[in-house]
């Protein structure tokens, strides 16, 4: 829990600094890169979170992996290493992206489907969500074959589960209760 609060504080501080220097969008792109890279690389995640790996090695690895990022992003990495909080980097990046989207009035709708969304269906989902929320929406599609069909939609704290797997589970519960 303390790590989550610290991640939010670091993300807010970086967003404030980036906004003051009119670099918020560039830093947001760096944060997306960092969050995706760390999430998709088990080796990098292990290096960053390992208490055994020295801070100097972590700094060198992160500087090589994220070469060419904004100076603000580089300073964040340096600060996290100095404060022994570099394990929070992925979470800080995710929180920054979330805060940046809120600042711009944009929300991310996470749509989980069994197959990739087609362009036509994606535009229908965007139109419906914009109608419901009134905000600009970005759709992030995740494929999960275990839902069998249908979709699971998450916008902020709201979740709508119209998956076939969920409907089958509801039927199963009804039959077992009767």
C-alpha 68/C-alpha 164 separation (Å) is: 45
**Do 111 and 142 form a contact (C-beta atoms < 8 A)?**
yes
Q: What is the pLDDT along the chain (178 residues), one digit of tens a residue?
A: 567 899 999 999 999 999 999 999 999 999 999 999 999 999 999 999 999 999 999 999 999 999 989 999 999 999 999 999 999 999 999 999 989 988 887 777 888 888 888 888 788 777 777 777 777 788 888 888 888 888 888 877 778 888 888 888 888 888 887 6
Radius of gyration of the chain (CA): 20
Pick the CATH number of 106-177 from 3.30.310, 3.40.30, 3.30.2000, 3.30.70: 3.40.30
Per-residue model confidence (pLDDT) at position 78: 93
The pTM of this model reads: 0.70
Please state the φ and ψ torsions of residue 107, each to the nearest 5 degrees.
-115, 155
Specify the CATH class of 2-102 in words: mainly alpha
Per-residue model confidence (pLDDT) at position 151: 81
**Do 153 and 110 form a contact (C-beta atoms < 8 A)?**
yes
Q: Which letter does DSSP use for residue 47 in this model?
A: H
Residue found by looking up tokens 């970005």 in the block: 138
Domains 2-102 and 106-177 share a fold: no
Q: Where are the domains of the chain?
A: 2-102, 106-177
Per-residue model confidence (pLDDT) at position 11: 94
């Amino acid at each position: 829990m303390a790590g989550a609060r610290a991640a939010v504080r670091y993300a807010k501080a970086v967003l404030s600094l980036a906004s003051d220097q009119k670099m918020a969008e560039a830093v947001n792109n760096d944060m997306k890169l960092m969050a995706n890279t760390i999430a998709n690389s088990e080796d990098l995640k292990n290096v960053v979170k390992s208490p055994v790996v020295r801070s100097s090695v972590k700094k060198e690895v992160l500087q090589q992996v994220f070469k060419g990022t904004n100076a603000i992003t580089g300073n964040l990495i340096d600060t996290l290493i100095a404060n022994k909080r570099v394990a929070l980097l992925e979470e800080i990046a995710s929180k920054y992206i979330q805060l940046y989207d809120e600042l711009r009035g944009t929300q991310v709708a996470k749509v989980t489907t069994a197959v990739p969304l087609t362009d036509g269906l994606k535009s229908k989902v965007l139109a419906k969500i914009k109608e419901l929320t009134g905000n600009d929406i970005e759709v992030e599609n995740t494929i999960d074959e275990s839902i069998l069909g249908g979709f699971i939609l998450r916008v902020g704290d709201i979740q709508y589960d119209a998956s076939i797997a969920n409907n089958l589970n509801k039927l199963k519960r009804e039959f077992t209760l009767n």
